[in-house]
Amino acid sequence: MFDKVLIANRGEIAMRVVRACREMGIKTVAVHSTADANAMHVRMADESVCIGPPAAKDSYLNIPALIAACEITHANAIHPGYGFLSENARFAEIVTAHNITFIGPTAEHIRIMGDKVEAKRTAKMLGIPVVPGSDGAVLESEALSIAAGIGYPVLIKAASGGGGRGMKVVTHEGELLSQLNLAKNEAKSAFGDDTVYMEKYLSTPRHIEVQVLCDMHGNALHLGERDCSLQRRHQKVLEEATSPALNQNQRSEIGTIVADAMRKLGYVGVGTVEFLYENGEFYFIEMNTRLQVEHPVTERITGVDLVYEQIRVASGEKLSLVQKDIQFNGHAIELRINAEDPQTFTPSPGTIKFYHPAGGVGVRVDSAVYAGYSIPPYYDSLIGKLIVYGRTREECLQRLRRAVDEFVVDGIKTTLPLFQRLIKEPDILAGNYDIHWLEKYLGMKH
Ligand code: MV4
């Protein structure tokens, strides 16, 4: 096992990793920009290193500074958290080349899943159901015949995209070539790669993702799904496990398909396979090769510490569990608390004057803020996650309403007032929502 882990991240996820390391008897090194000298993750770790000025490209994305920080502190492994360098194959390669363990999958697996065309080809080859569409990249000369074969409406996606950037819905053939060229131009300027592919457009799906966990010894298991359909501009707002749309048989069926596929691929670490789910069918869209923001809902209903397992498997140890150990108990919901105006979603950095996190039975708060802390304007606006458990979804929602009422963050604007309304909505109480529900709701007058 590692003696010391460097955490190449900030905020609540850096705290999450420090906590797992401390329970495992592993020493921790925090890194920080000059803007984060007073951040909680820095105080919580055993040691800290300043790696650069506020802009992420000069600090949290500064690979030479991170490697140097490892060398001066003698850290044997790097945990990348989420965002920043967590899905950067080149970073994983450089870390490995310096005899430091990258806590994550191989650079090769990160690279495959980062290319959405390659990811889909791989998923299909491994027996995962995919959205009907082009087999790979679409050339202008073949576009009309491919779209006719798929049937309209079709969706044009960028191979280097993901996260919804650069997608175009095309409803009839008269618009296809103009939209294709628009998509290619946008992809070229956003990602430096104009490769696009085409899929059948699914009009009202849910976003359901399956959590997997794999070691280097051929063991792969699934931890069920999370329903992340409630999003605004491709940012998740509320996530829950289990999905209100699935029963135990469906969970076990898709989970087994995904775990078998990951075993065949030789994948190592934690991973999330994302699906669109419509009319009882799953359609693969992407795979994330990192720990995700919403991992705590899975931890809560399975009792598995995903970061503990992730660190174990990265060090070469076997998983501490097998599939039959994994049971799904009760229901968990996570709310993302952002330092944003709850009406306009514009960032609201500033100093927190008073902070009282919710507590009590069934409540977990993952956050890195405290009273007196100034949220810097340079990074994303997630300041905490409220994760609530109940034996049933009804009990979970009831407790969630109590916990949101109890939560106080003064001095800045947060998304808490939005949640106060959202978790009383009949459609949310009924679990009756798809990927478009939240934006429609936010577009209505209240
Ligand atoms: C789709 C789709 C409909 N049909 N693919 C958006 C982000 C990217 N990961 C995939 N996305 C979508 N792919 C087909 N064939 C609709 C979306 C989509 C979406 C997906 C998940 C969560 C929220 C979304 C919001 C708008 C569109």
**Model confidence over 121-156: pLDDT tens digits?**
999 999 999 999 999 999 999 999 999 999 999 999
What is the sign of the dihedral through the CA atoms of 353, 412, 300 and 429? positive
How many whole angstroms separate alpha carbon 196 and alpha carbon 140? 10
Residues with a CB atom less than 6 Å from ligand 1: 131, 155, 162-164, 199-202, 207, 231, 234, 276, 285-286, 435
What is the band of 445 on the pLDDT scale with cuts at 50, 70, 90? Answer: low
**Is residue 164's pLDDT more than 80?**
no
| pLDDT tens track for 68-95 | 999 999 999 999 999 999 999 999 999 9
Query: Do residues 424 and 345 lie in contact, with contact meaning Cβ atoms separated by under 8 Å?
Result: no
Decide if 4-103 and 206-445 have a common fold.
no
Q: Where are the beta strands (DSSP E) in 134-280?
A: 154-158, 168-170, 196-200, 206-214, 220-232, 235-241, 269-278
Greatest C-alpha distance within the chain = 63
* 233: annotated active-site residue: no
What superfamily in CATH does domain 132-200 come from?
ATP-grasp fold, A domain (3.30.1490.20)
Position 362 scores a pLDDT of 98
The model's pLDDT over 358-390, given as tens digits with 9 standing for 90+, comes to 999 999 999 999 999 999 999 999 999 999 999
Identify the three-state secondary structure at position 165. coil
Q: At what angle do helices 107-114 and 89-97 cross, to 10 degrees?
A: 170
Q: Which atom of ligand 1 is nearest to the CA of 200?
A: 15
Ligand 1 midpoint to CA 166 (Å): 11
* Residue range 247-285, pLDDT digits in tens: 999 999 999 999 999 999 999 999 999 999 999 999 999
**pLDDT tens for residues 304-341?**
999 999 999 999 999 989 999 999 999 999 999 999 99
Where are the chain's structural domains? Answer: 4-103, 132-200, 206-445
Residue 198 Cα to ligand 1 midpoint, Å, equals 13
The CATH architecture that domain 206-445 belongs to is 2-Layer Sandwich (3.30)
CATH number 3.40.50.20 given to 4-103: yes
Q: Find all residues with CB under 8 Å of 420, minimum gap 6, and list them.
A: 404, 405
Q: Position of tokens 């899943």?
A: 113
SS (HEC) of 255-306: HHHHHHHHHHHCCCEEEEEEEEEECCEEEEEEEECCCCCCHHHHHHHHCCCH
